[in-house]
Amino acid sequence: MLRLSAAASLLAVVLPLCFTSSHGQQCARFENGEVIFEPFPDSSTPVISEEYNSNGLGAWYGMASGFINTVRTGNLPYDQVKEVLNATGITESLLASDGGGSESEGIDPVGLLQELSFWFASIIAVTIIGGILATVFLITGCCFWCCRCCGNCGGSRLQEDKGYHPALMVVFSVILALFTCVLLGGVVLAYFSNQQFYDSVTNVGNVLNSTLDEAVQYVDDTLGEADFILCQYNGISDQVLNEADDFADSLRGQVDFFKEMVYPLLDEAVSIDDDITTVERALSNVSNVTAVLQTQGETLRTMVMGLHTALTDLSTDCALVAVPNLPCDQIPDTSEIDTGANFDELPDVGSELDEVSNALDVDILGAVQMGNDTFNTQLRDIDDDITESLNSLKSEVDSFNMQVNDAIMDVETSINKVAVANEGATCDGQIENVGQIRACITDYWQYVEEYDIYVFAFGVVFSCLALIVIILVAVGIILGVTGFRKYTPPHERSSISNCGGIFLLVAVGFAFLVGFLLLILSCILFFLSTPLLKICQSLAGPEYELFVEIVDNSAVWGGSILGQYILQDPNIPLPISGILRDCSNDTALYEAFKLDNRPDFDLSDVANITQAIPDLQSIFDEVNIAVNFSDDSFVTGDIRNSLDDFKNSGVNTVNISAFQQQIEAQLVTFDISSTREQLMTLRGTIDTQCGNVSQCDDLISDIDNAISQLDAISNQTVMLQTQVDLVDQGVQVLSDKANATVASAEEILSRTDMILSDLNGAEGFEFFEESATETYDRVVGYVDTFENHLLTSIRTELGGCEPVYRIYTYLHNQLCRAPVDGLVGFWWSLGFCALLLVPTIVFSVIAAHFYLRMKD
């Protein structure tokens, strides 16, 4: 029975790895026996951007940050942070399950406070200086108001009338106006900085939701890439099935080709059985009739010899009769009386008949039917094996595909359960999906938004404090300039001009108070924002100092935190800073997160596809496609022996010409009818001429005897001629059939040998072994190519983690940098306004001397 392992069982053990993905993209194609994988589809458009938008205040924030970095150079107090973490036991709790973490030690509060004070020294110093300036403002303002209450506010009211006063008034008014405009700019900067802080805090909910959207989109894109690889896997699977179908079709086609050779041969074997039977009958008839002819021919010869003797005696007796003029010369010439054909010279066909009879001892029809049944059984076994193997292949493919698709479906279901925001999700109980996270953001952040408006209003109020001074100064300048008369003496200045001077003095009084408040708030915010700014800067890339020094420092935690929770081994370093740097270059998820170190994510198991199936080579080595078709496969040994016996029977060498020579020869050499008629005429003549002569009576009696012999010879020749005709028919059959039938037998035997040679040789099923090898190599080539592609895709392409970097950068910008920049810009703007109040006060007092009505 044909074991068709190479047709399908060979391919059934090959990994059943669409040519188009679920989104309609072409993912793989096959050209010239090679598979070509299409690149991954483009990722979705990002929901968020890692670009930071400072709303045009980047330079202003940069100045403020530069001031802080100048005051507090260097990094955060990482050593002190490590001491606190170690003392609190946090490092133990994070890696306690693996015995990691450094052993906690007692903390020296005094020493720690001293070390921290060193770090905060410059910040505290600048804060104190700012407080001193605020105190100076406050004391100076109190003095100014006290003087005002005593009527001496603004200095002496005496002023000489000099010609250059108008020019000085213009110069100081312009200078005061310029400082006022700059002060207004500081107020605007403070307002926008406060607005940024407010917007950044209010927008936290949207930021978190956008981040979740980006994360969900990243997961969807990664699943899409995995689906793309699955599509490529399905393409390989389909191609393997196509290869199996093509191979099976090729085998079936070759089987059909051999059917077209064998079935006509069997038909000829059936036909030659009839021909051999015909030849055997002809031989039998010829053999039997030949014996009869030889016996009856001898009888005829005896009879002809008797006639010859009788005529000779008749001639002698006629000459002795004493009757004149007897026509003795009319007696037939005995030299012509003889037999023609010599049947003893006919060839003996007995041995040929025996051989042909032996050939017919075999039931050729039955043997042919048996051979036909055997061949059909083998062919049916071949077809059954093909069908069974293909069904087995498809079953294994379907089973493996179902496992792969079920596994992917389970992953997608689990991810969707977390990633899909279900409508109506609430922030109750354990957080299990994105919808609940969004609900929690909405539920809790509304309280922050509710109170953030008060913070914003507080910032606006402080921003607008300087506006009081600006308005008073602006009104004073406008009234002073419009009321000033060039040629009017100082003691006669108009009420409008005098009112302008009073406004400036009032502005000065408020300026001291506003300056005090602005400096106090600026110092407080400076002290608070400086550590926040340093923290934000330490979280920024590409250095990521906070991660490098604290979070990623295995000496702090006694191992790697992410190594423990992602790779399940704290001894494997997995720094967040390294992940972010890799993700900034869109490194694949597998490489960025070092998943090759995770025990259950070893790519050697993922990529070694052949481990999931039986060993291909060992199964292929067991394949035995070649079927040893024997003599009994279709033309049985009995048929071959029968045909050999017939071929070697010599029936084709029977001397047909010898038969034809005797058959064509005359039975007797004389004409029986004319001889009898001649004797009858002679008898009548003698009877008439002799009368009553006794000798004549004897002579007539001899003539009657000769006539009787002629009649017997005539009857004998008739009988012989019948037998001769039978021999002639048999010989004619032998002449027509013997050579052709022997040639047919030889051809059947020759074609049988040729077909068997073809079936068992290079033209037959050996060809399928080679074809199976080629198919095996090609299919394994597909699998190897996919393995390499799968490894490369997972290591370098699948899940490019730029979205992780984008999410981190976006969160850093929106939750850290934006509010801190707004806070820093706000106090920097307030401090700037407070410092601008000094020249504003000075020039307001000077300008007021040119607006106020002086004493005479």
Grade residue 101 by pLDDT with cuts at 50, 70 and 90: very low
What angle separates helix 765-796 from helix 204-320, to the nearest 10 degrees?
A: 170
Dihedral-angle region of residue 41 (phi above 0 means left; psi in -120 to 50 means alpha; beta otherwise)? beta
SS3 state of residue 176:
helix
Query: Residue 11: is its pLDDT beyond 50?
Result: no
Cβ within 8 Å of residue 676, ≥6 positions away: 707, 710, 711, 714
Residue labelled with tokens 């039975």: 667
Cβ within 8 Å of residue 371, ≥6 positions away: 266, 269, 632, 633, 634, 635, 636, 639
Tokens representing residue 110 in the block: 């005094």
Cβ within 8 Å of residue 642, ≥6 positions away: 276, 359, 360, 361, 362, 364, 367
Query: Residue 522: is its pLDDT beyond 80?
Result: yes
Q: What is the pLDDT of residues 36-77, one digit of tens each?
A: 878 877 777 888 887 888 888 889 989 999 998 898 888 888
Grade residue 828 by pLDDT with cuts at 50, 70 and 90: very high
Give the residue with greater pLDDT, 340 vs 628.
340
What b/e readout covers 485-500, taking b as 16+ CB neighbours within 10 angstroms?
eeeeebeebbebbbbb
Give the residue with greater pLDDT, 323 vs 670.
670
Report the 10 Å Cβ neighbour count for 522: 26
Q: What is the pLDDT of residues 797-812, one digit of tens each?
A: 888 888 998 998 988 8
Q: Which long-range contacts (CB under 8 A, 24 or more apart) does 559-563 make?
A: 559/95, 559/98, 559/100, 559/101, 561/94, 561/95, 562/593, 563/597
User: Can you give the pLDDT at residue 44?
Assistant: 77
Grade residue 189 by pLDDT with cuts at 50, 70 and 90: very high
Percent of the chain with pLDDT over 70: 74
Query: Residue 610: is its pLDDT beyond 70?
Result: no
User: Can you give the pLDDT at residue 475?
Assistant: 92
Average pLDDT over residues 500-519: 89
Alpha carbon distance 522, 825 (integer Å): 10
Tell me if 834 sits within 8 A of 522, measured CB to CB: yes
- Secondary element (H or E) of residue 36: strand 34-37
SS3 state of residue 25:
coil
Average pLDDT over residues 696-725: 82
Query: Residue 317: is its pLDDT beyond 60?
Result: yes
Alpha carbon distance 777, 765 (integer Å): 18
Lowest mean pLDDT across 122-131, 222-231, 407-416, 707-716: 407-416
Alpha carbon distance 465, 462 (integer Å): 5
Grade residue 96 by pLDDT with cuts at 50, 70 and 90: low
Could you write out the DSSP letters of every residue in 520-575?
A: HHHHHHHHHHHHHHHHHHHHSTTT-HHIIIIIT-HHHHTS-HHHHHTSS-TTS---
Tell me if 217 sits within 8 A of 803, measured CB to CB: yes
Could you write out the DSSP letters of every residue in 218-247?
A: HHHHHHHHHHHHHHHHHHHHHHHHHHHHHH
Residue labelled with tokens 């926008």: 192
User: Can you give the pLDDT at residue 175?
Assistant: 92
Grade residue 704 by pLDDT with cuts at 50, 70 and 90: confident
Q: What is the pLDDT of residues 432-444, one digit of tens each?
A: 666 667 767 776 6
User: Can you give the pLDDT at residue 283?
Assistant: 76
Q: What is the pLDDT of residues 281-291, one digit of tens each?
A: 877 887 788 88
Q: What is the pLDDT of residues 130-167, one digit of tens each?
A: 899 889 888 888 887 777 666 555 455 555 555 446 78
Q: What is the pLDDT of residues 729-738, one digit of tens each?
A: 877 877 777 7
Grade residue 267 by pLDDT with cuts at 50, 70 and 90: confident
Going from the C-alpha of 110 to that of each of 88, 113, 116, 117, 162, the distances in angstroms are 16, 5, 10, 10, 68
Q: What is the pLDDT of residues 535-568, one digit of tens each?
A: 998 888 888 888 888 888 887 787 888 888 887 7
Q: In terms of Cα–Cα distance, which of 361, 236, 275, 354 is closest to 642?
A: 361
Half-sphere exposure of 173 (CA within 13 A, CB side): 24
- Secondary element (H or E) of residue 300: helix 204-320
| Cβ-based burial of 618 (10 A; exposed 0-12, middle 13-18, buried ≥19) | exposed
Q: In terms of Cα–Cα distance, which of 806, 134, 107 is closest to 525?
A: 134
Alpha carbon distance 52, 821 (integer Å): 11
Alpha carbon distance 627, 642 (integer Å): 26
User: Can you give the pLDDT at residue 723?
Assistant: 80
Give the residue with greater pLDDT, 620 vs 105.
105
User: Can you give the pLDDT at residue 240?
Assistant: 75
User: Can you give the pLDDT at residue 617?
Assistant: 44
Tell me if 19 sits within 8 A of 395, measured CB to CB: no
User: Can you give the pLDDT at residue 371?
Assistant: 67
Going from the C-alpha of 746 to that of each of 140, 352, 758, the distances in angstroms are 139, 17, 18
Give the residue with greater pLDDT, 27 vs 159.
27
User: Can you give the pLDDT at residue 132?
Assistant: 92
Tokens representing residue 246 in the block: 């093509």
Grade residue 821 by pLDDT with cuts at 50, 70 and 90: very high
Q: Where do the H-state alpha helices sit in 554-649?
A: 554-557, 561-565, 576-584, 589-592, 603-607, 616-621, 637-647
Grade residue 663 by pLDDT with cuts at 50, 70 and 90: confident
Lowest mean pLDDT across 500-504, 670-674, 741-745, 844-848: 741-745
Query: Residue 618: is its pLDDT beyond 50?
Result: no
Alpha carbon distance 429, 201 (integer Å): 26
Query: Residue 625: is its pLDDT beyond 60?
Result: no
Tell me if 244 sits within 8 A of 761, measured CB to CB: no
Q: Look over the chain and give the mean of its residue pLDDT values, rounded to a whole number.
A: 76
